[in-house]
Amino acid sequence: ESLYEDAFPIMNDIRDKPFEISRFAQFLDDQEKAILQDEGVMITIKGKSRVYVPRVLRDELLRRFHEHPDIGQHWGYAKLADKFCLIFHWPKMAKDMQRVWQDCEVCWRTKHQPSNLVQTNIHSIPRPGEVWETLNADYIQLEDKLHVLVIIDEYSRFAYTAITKKQDQQFTLVQLMKCFSTFGYPRTLRTDGGASFIGNKVEKYLQTMHIKHYISSPHNHKSNAFVERFNRTIRESLRAQTELTPIETVYALTYAYNRTKHMSTGYPPSYFVLNTADRVLNDIPIHGITSD
């Protein structure tokens, strides 16, 4: 690995920059240079610019992309392939992505295998007609008495998270106000009716903002399935990202999750809600630059 430090700098912290694309060209072999005709590593695929990855760098690039907490989060091919292919290219790369990512020891050790998972039936819940119309909210407890408030938009699957040592009505109220004032006011908020969500202050705020509060049955997990699935993802990330603190893990996951394709929509959640670049990957603003 030390032979390729120019392309893959030593990471003293797990969230350091995982690769230096500007250095990739020096690792092209003679055959690759002949094919690229001295154009460096930038190529055009179907009208889009991509980075050609030299053969000797491919496996390490795939590993670093997959493992980085702000980028890959140890997700698999189905979730990461589109994100990776928006930046990089080489012939028959799909086979390499599947091979490297499926062989990840951390994933095998920390994640539930599909055969052991119980599928949550959410077909009875009609999908909202627009972004930020219906939100799910719930708390998940971390270690060291930390709690995470998770709010999920049912349409886009966009996630908002906030961490606290004190799960109470006041914290919930402040975070709902922060979330709604930043992203907009929903029509409906679904919760499990926990004490933090049904206090007088929270209920009064929701009524004042004309937000309908739908409380699901304690035994009906279908109605709050979106946030419960995200909570499961948090637990998987906590097991995989052992070099980060729980707080760092949750916020890194939230960032990567919102900027990675969701299997139910085919788009990253941020596509629907934000117009900001993914600075970790040096992306461009999602909806482009508008002019007067």
- Structural domain for 207, as ranges: 134-273
CATH of the domain at 38: 1.10.340.70
Residues 165, 101 share a domain: no
Residues 138, 54 share a domain: no
Residues 201, 94 share a domain: no
- pTM of this structure: 0.76
Residues 253, 173 share a domain: yes
Residues 72, 174 share a domain: no
Give the pLDDT confidence score for residue 224 in this predicted structure.
Answer: 73
Q: Which residue has the tokens 């390490």?
A: 60
Residues 100, 156 share a domain: no
Give the pLDDT confidence score for residue 173 in this predicted structure.
Answer: 97
pLDDT tens for 110-156 read: 775 444 333 333 344 567 889 999 999 999 998 778 999 999 999 99
Report the number of distinct structural domains present in the chain.
2
CB 52 within 8 A of CB 31: no
Task: Please name which of 32, 48, 41 lies closest in space to residue 7, comparing C-alpha atoms.
Answer: 41
The confidence band for 182, taking pLDDT boundaries of 50, 70 and 90, is very high
261 within some domain:
yes
Rounded CA separation 190/42 (Å): 47
Residues 141, 60 share a domain: no
Give the pLDDT confidence score for residue 2 in this predicted structure.
Answer: 62
List, in sequence order, every beta strand (DSSP E) within the chain. 42-45, 48-52, 88-89, 134-141, 147-153, 159-164, 188-191, 212-215
Residue 72: count of CB within 10 angstroms of its CB: 23
Burial class (CB in 10 A: 0-12, 13-18, 19+), 111: buried
Residues 97, 140 share a domain: no
Residues 77, 162 share a domain: no
Residues 6 or more apart whose Cβ sits within 8 Å of residue 191: 136, 137, 138, 197, 198, 213, 214, 215, 216, 224
